Amino acid sequence: MRQQIVSLVCITFLVPFAVLGQTPPKKPESQQPMGGASTGAPATYTSRRTVGITDPNAPVVFEDVTDKTSLASFRHRSGEAAKDYIFETPSGGVAIFDYDSDGRRDIYLVNGSTSAAMRGKEKAPRAALYRNLGNWKFEDVTEKAGVANERWGFSVAVGDYNNDGRADMFVGNFGVSRLYRNNGDGTFTDVAEKLGVARKGWSTGASWGDYDGDGRLDLFVPGYVQIDLANLPPNPSDVNKSGSVGQNFCQFRGAPVMCGPRGLPGEGDTLYHQKADGTFEDVSVKAGVSDPEKYYGFSSAFVHVNDDKLLDLIVANDSTPNQLYVNKGNGTFEEIGYPSGVALNENGREQAGMGLAVGDYDNDGRVDFHITNFSDDSNTLYHNDGDDNFTDLTFQAGLGEVSIPFLGWGTSFLDFDNDGWLDLFVVNGHVYPAVDAHQWGTSYAQQALLFRNVKGKFERVGAPPGSALANAWPGRGLAAGDLDDDGRIDLVINNLDAKPVVLRNVAATTGHWLGLRLIGDVAKKSPRDAIGSTAYVTTGAVRQRQDVVSGAVYCSQNDMTLHFGLGAATKIDKLEIKWPDGSVETFDVPAVDKIITITQGKSCKSC
DSSP code of residue 30? -
Give the 3-state secondary structure percentages of the chain, helix then strand then coil, rounded to 5: 10, 35, 55
Phi and psi, residue 542, nearest 5° = -100, 125
Which residues, 6 or more positions from 298, have their beta carbon under 8 angstroms from its beta carbon? 90, 204, 205, 222, 224, 316, 317, 318, 353, 354, 355, 554, 555
CB nearer other proteins, residue 333 or residue 390: 390
H helices, E strands: number in the chain = 6, 39
SS3 411: strand
Phi and psi, residue 285, nearest 5° = -70, -45
User: 128: buried, middle or exposed (CB in 10 Å: 19+, 13-18, 0-12)?
Assistant: buried
CB of 15 vs other proteins, minimal distance in Å:
8
CB nearer other proteins, residue 9 or residue 229: 9
CB nearer other proteins, residue 32 or residue 332: 32
Distance CA 283, CA 218 (A): 10
Phi and psi, residue 264, nearest 5° = -105, 150
CB nearer other proteins, residue 13 or residue 228: 13
Nearest to 597 by CA among 587, 482, 487: 587
CB of 228 vs other proteins, minimal distance in Å:
17
Sheet of 501-505: strands edge to edge?
A: 62-64, 501-505, 490-495, 475-481
CB nearer other proteins, residue 20 or residue 454: 20
CB of 234 vs other proteins, minimal distance in Å:
11
CB of 384 vs other proteins, minimal distance in Å:
16
Radius of gyration from C-alpha coordinates of the chain: 23
SS3 594: strand
CB of 9 vs other proteins, minimal distance in Å:
5
CB of 5 vs other proteins, minimal distance in Å:
5
User: Residue numbers of the site for other proteins (CB under 8 A)?
Assistant: 1-3, 5-6, 9-10, 12-14, 16-17, 20, 28-33, 36, 42, 248, 250-251, 253-254, 259, 262-263, 293, 321, 338-339, 341, 344, 346-350
CB of 375 vs other proteins, minimal distance in Å:
15
CB nearer other proteins, residue 136 or residue 338: 338
Per-residue CA distances from 216 to 161, 205, 313, 493 (Å): 7, 20, 16, 30
| Residue 102 CA from chain centroid, whole number | 26
